[in-house]
Each structure stands twice: as structure tokens, then as C-alpha cells.
């Protein structure tokens, strides 16, 4: 769930999976898959960032081993981290 703010200042949470699309017209308008429209004070960029952060948190919770890949800046960094982890576990298990 992501927390957003209505135009009147009240906070609410919404499941980002229910957001069909959002647009700035000029206020940010979320259109849900149900057809309901919500006006919020956050920019489209902030809504998108919160939705992505929420998805990453859901994936980290469901798949803890993928944490390195989900937080790496590049796939190469994830690859290097995995190699380091594997070499450390190999050296620990050989003791």
C-alpha cells in the first residue's frame, strides 16, 4: 500500500496494483481499475516512485534471496555480489 494525500489534506492509502493510470491535469488524478478517480496533491513522479518502492518491498518480502538484485544499481553489480557471496559460502563450508 502507498500513502497519498487528498486535496483537502487528509491522508489515505491505496493499493498501487489497483491504479490503472495517473495523469497531471493539473492536479494528479489517479484512475483505478474500478473506474474510480482520486485527486491527490503528490506529483505523478512521486506516485510512480512510491508504487515502484512498494513493488520492490513486496518482492523483497516474498523473495529475500533477490534482495541484492533488487537493490543493485546495475545487473553487473548484482552479478559481482552473487559471485562474492558464493565464494564466501564456499570458503566457509570448506572449513
Where are the domains positioned within the chain?
Answer: 1-62, 64-95
CB contact at 8 A, 43 and 21: no
Enter the pTM of the model. Answer: 0.68
pLDDT confidence of residue 67: 66
Q: How many CB atoms lie within 10 A of CB 65?
A: 9
CB contact at 8 A, 68 and 85: yes
pLDDT confidence of residue 31: 97
Q: Which residues of the chain have pLDDT under 50?
A: none
| Separation between Cα atoms, residue 50 and residue 62, nearest integer Å | 18
**CATH class of this structure's domain 1-62:** mainly beta
pLDDT confidence of residue 69: 62
- The angle subtended at Cα 68 by Cα 63 and Cα 73, nearest 5°, is 130
Amino acid at each position: 500500500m502507498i500513502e497519498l494525500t487528498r486535496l483537502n489534506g487528509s491522508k489515505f492509502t491505496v493499493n498501487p496494483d489497483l491504479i490503472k493510470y495517473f495523469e497531471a491535469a493539473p492536479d494528479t488524478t489517479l484512475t483505478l481499475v474500478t473506474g474510480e478517480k482520486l485527486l491527490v496533491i503528490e506529483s505523478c513522479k512521486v506516485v510512480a516512485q512510491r508504487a515502484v518502492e512498494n513493488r520492490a518491498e513486496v518482492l523483497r518480502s516474498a523473495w529475500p534471496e533477490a534482495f541484492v538484485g533488487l537493490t543493485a544499481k546495475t545487473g553487473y553489480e548484482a552479478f559481482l555480489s552473487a559471485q562474492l557471496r558464493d565464494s564466501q559460502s564456499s570458503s566457509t563450508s570448506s572449513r
